[in-house]
Amino acid sequence: MAGYRAPRHPQVEDHARRQTRIARLVGLGLMWILVALMALVAERTIPRQHLPWKPLSVVDPVGAATKAKAARAGDDLAACQAILSNGGLAFRRAEESAEGFCSVRDALEFTGGMAPLSPAEAPMTCKQALAVAIWERQVVQPAAFEAFGHAVVAVEHYGSFSCRRIYGQQAGPVSEHASANALDVSAFRLADGRTVSVKDDWDDPGAKGRFLRAVRDGACRVFLTTLSPDYNEAHADHFHLDMGGRPLCA
């Protein structure tokens, strides 16, 4: 029938609305209880290197949250330096400099607590240094013992700071090296006197090649950007490791 309207029942409608609100509140409460229980279980059963809210430590193995925590810790200079000190790393403040689009500020250089960098002069931002320390402790040394039964006693590199744009071009994006936020690793010296070189040993089918790929893959879990000979010819002789570029592992 035209114009017909179903009769309303205000009391029934109010009751239905109240029931709906109660159901939503109960559902929300149950959800938060479930989240709290999951967090409690995670807190007690999952290693802290996998939990983003747990403090970062260089003595912990690399975990699912290591990269994010290292990048975050680097934003607080005092906190970053405290993590290094608590992990037994010794360092000194690097000399500050500024030239055009390049600068070295709040950087540091390692003086002990890990396999020495060669050459020793390698100023790095704290978050880059923190990533290098974690990588050396938790990736490089275990991989060396597994592959060779010896420790790495020196990490050879081509430099950390270089005032240039990417690939040394006259124009284009500025390199992470321009702010000492990168390290180009070329080789590893072992305690038995051997040297494992990215240039010479990347394609080695034996222990040296396996070691280099293990430390590259491990670097991808620590640094924001990891580039190896697999990336392009420009990286045929070194690993580029940085904590400021776009997330990339190659």
Helix H or strand E segment including 186 = strand 182-190
Q: What's the sign of the alpha-carbon dihedral 63, 118, 185, 130?
A: positive
Q: Which pTM was predicted?
A: 0.82
Cβ contact 114:91 at 8 Å: no
Structure tokens given for 205: 């089918």
Mean pLDDT for the stretch of residues 154-174: 92
Q: Cα dist. 104→5, 25, 167, 243 in Å?
A: 77, 54, 19, 15
Q: Cα dist. 170→151, 160, 163, 183, 203 in Å?
A: 41, 20, 12, 21, 33
Q: Who wins on pLDDT, 199 or 103?
A: 199
How would you classify the pairing of strands 152-159 and 117-118? parallel
Q: How far apart are CA 241 and CA 228, in angstroms?
A: 9
Mean pLDDT for the stretch of residues 72-84: 92
Q: pLDDT band at 91, cuts 50/70/90?
A: very high
Structure tokens given for 184: 């180009």
Q: Taking Cα atoms as reference points, which of 84, 85, 198 lies closest to residue 140?
A: 198
42-46, 66-70, 115-119, 207-211: segment of lowest average pLDDT: 42-46
**Per-residue pLDDT tens over the stretch 100-114:** 889 899 999 999 999
Mean pLDDT, all residues of the chain: 90
Percent of the chain clearing pLDDT 90 (strictly above): 72
Q: How many CA atoms lie within 13 A of 185 on its CB side?
A: 25
Cβ contact 207:147 at 8 Å: yes
Q: Who wins on pLDDT, 192 or 35?
A: 192
Count the neighbouring beta carbons within 10 Å of the beta carbon of residue 196. 23
Q: How far apart are CA 69 and CA 207, in angstroms?
A: 32
Residue type, 169: Q
Q: Taking Cα atoms as reference points, which of 230, 246, 220, 197 lies closest to residue 67?
A: 220
Mean pLDDT for the stretch of residues 18-43: 66
Q: Who wins on pLDDT, 170 or 4?
A: 170
pLDDT for res 218: 98
Percent of the chain clearing pLDDT 70 (strictly above): 87
Whether 13 shows a pLDDT value over 90: the answer reads: no
Whether 35 shows a pLDDT value over 70: the answer reads: no
Q: How far apart are CA 5 and CA 122, in angstroms?
A: 82
Whether 34 shows a pLDDT value over 70: the answer reads: no
